[in-house]
């Protein structure tokens, strides 16, 4: 006899953790919405566990909408994501980088077995500050041409 679970599993392959939220995509609006665990009848939705919800990313240019779980009386499966760099200013990120450098220096002084010198804190570059790819890169010479190379050539007679 097959066992019946009283919870829904995470939809990610290989994950048997109980689901806590439902992910739905709206391709027309370029929006991904994460809501409280909804009814299971929608074939275009994914049930996700708290681990996969916290690691969720969306394609560039898309919006990620997360429903307020406190209003629904649930604990927030998203937690406080301290890795989201959009919450920090450049100055705060620079201070954090310098603090991490200072920790590396302190551990090198206390542990004589450390060989590598600490890496100095550099300038923080955000993804939106990087130039967009143009598609005209020299490495594209290896890609197939729009028209195939001809294997037959016309030869003129020498009169």
First-to-last alpha carbon distance for the chain, in angstroms, is 91
Q: How do residues 28-85 score in pLDDT, each as one tens digit?
A: 888 888 988 877 777 778 898 888 888 888 888 888 888 765 444 445 444 555 455 5
> What is the C-alpha to C-alpha distance for residues 17 and 105, in angstroms, rounded to an integer?
41
Q: Where are the domains of the chain?
A: 8-81, 85-126
Which residue, chain included where needed, has tokens 């394609």? 59
Closest CA to 76 of 109, 139, 34: 34
Higher-confidence position of 135 and 96: 96
pLDDT confidence band for 101 (50 / 70 / 90): confident
Residue 8 has pLDDT above 80, yes or no: yes
> What is the C-alpha to C-alpha distance for residues 48 and 12, in angstroms, rounded to an integer?
7
Residue 18: DSSP 8-state = B
Q: How do residues 123-154 score in pLDDT, each as one tens digit?
A: 666 777 777 666 666 666 656 666 766 777 78
pLDDT at 71: 41
Q: Residue 103: which H helix or E strand, with range?
A: helix 90-110
pLDDT (average), residues 111-131: 64
Task: Indicate whether this model's pTM tops 0.85.
Answer: no
Strand ranges (DSSP E) for the chain?
Answer: 21-26, 31-36, 45-48, 63-66
């Amino acid at each position: 006899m097959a066992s019946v679970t009283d919870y829904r599993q995470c939809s990610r392959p290989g994950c048997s953790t109980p689901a806590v939220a439902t992910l739905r995509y709206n391709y027309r609006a370029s929006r991904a919405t994460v809501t409280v665990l909804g009814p299971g009848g929608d074939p275009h939705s994914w049930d996700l566990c708290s681990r996969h919800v916290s690691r969720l990313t969306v394609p560039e240019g898309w919006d990620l909408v997360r429903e307020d779980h406190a209003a629904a009386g649930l604990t927030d499966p998203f937690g406080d994501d301290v890795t989201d760099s959009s919450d920090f200013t450049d100055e705060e990120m620079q201070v954090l980088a310098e603090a991490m450098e200072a920790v590396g220096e302190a551990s090198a002084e206390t542990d004589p077995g450390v060989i590598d010198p600490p890496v100095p804190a550099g300038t923080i570059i955000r993804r939106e500050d990087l130039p967009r790819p143009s598609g005209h890169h020299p490495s594209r010479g290896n890609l197939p041409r729009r028209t195939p190379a001809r294997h037959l050539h016309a030869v003129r007679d020498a009169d």
